[in-house]
Amino acid sequence: MAKLKLAYYVTRDMDRAVAFYRDALKLNLKFQDGAKWAQFDLGGTSLALSSPAEAQEGVAGGTAMIEIEDLDGARAGIVKAGGTILSERAVTGGRSLAFRDPDGNIVQLFERAAKPA
């Protein structure tokens, strides 16, 4: 059975990128190898950041979808940390928000709708 091992984005400024994902989205940094690679824990899978030298040749683009619990809080953190909100909408089962990180990568967040009491 196939499963998502990780998604990664290429960044030219590792410190800025790590700070963005750690502070704006409150992701847990698992490890960082200087300016080459950083990896965040997403509950069984990972979101990673790669320097251009560490990335596979020709790698560009991609979108990670991250499920979070507080979309409103994340929106405020994204803007404060230099990200750009692209769109937000209701989707089946919750809400979704797309944004660009400071390197221009597109990320999508999903917040599950609260279950009725």
Query: How are the residues of the chain apportioned to helix, strand and coil, as percentages rounded to the nearest 5?
Result: 20, 40, 40
Domains in the chain: boundaries = 6-112
Residue 47, pLDDT score: 92
- Taking the chain, what is the end-to-end CA distance rounded to the nearest angstrom? 35
Instruction: Give the CATH architecture of domain 6-112.
Output: Roll (3.10)
The position carrying tokens 């404060």 is 80
Predicted TM-score (pTM) of the model is: 0.75
User: Above 70 in pLDDT, residue 60?
Assistant: no
Q: How many CB atoms lie within 10 A of CB 18?
A: 18
Which range among 11-20, 29-38, 91-100 shows the weakest confidence by mean pLDDT?
Answer: 91-100
Residue 15 has pLDDT above 90, yes or no: yes
Contact 106, 98 (CB under 8 A): yes
Tens of pLDDT, residues 65-93:
898 889 999 999 999 999 999 999 888 88
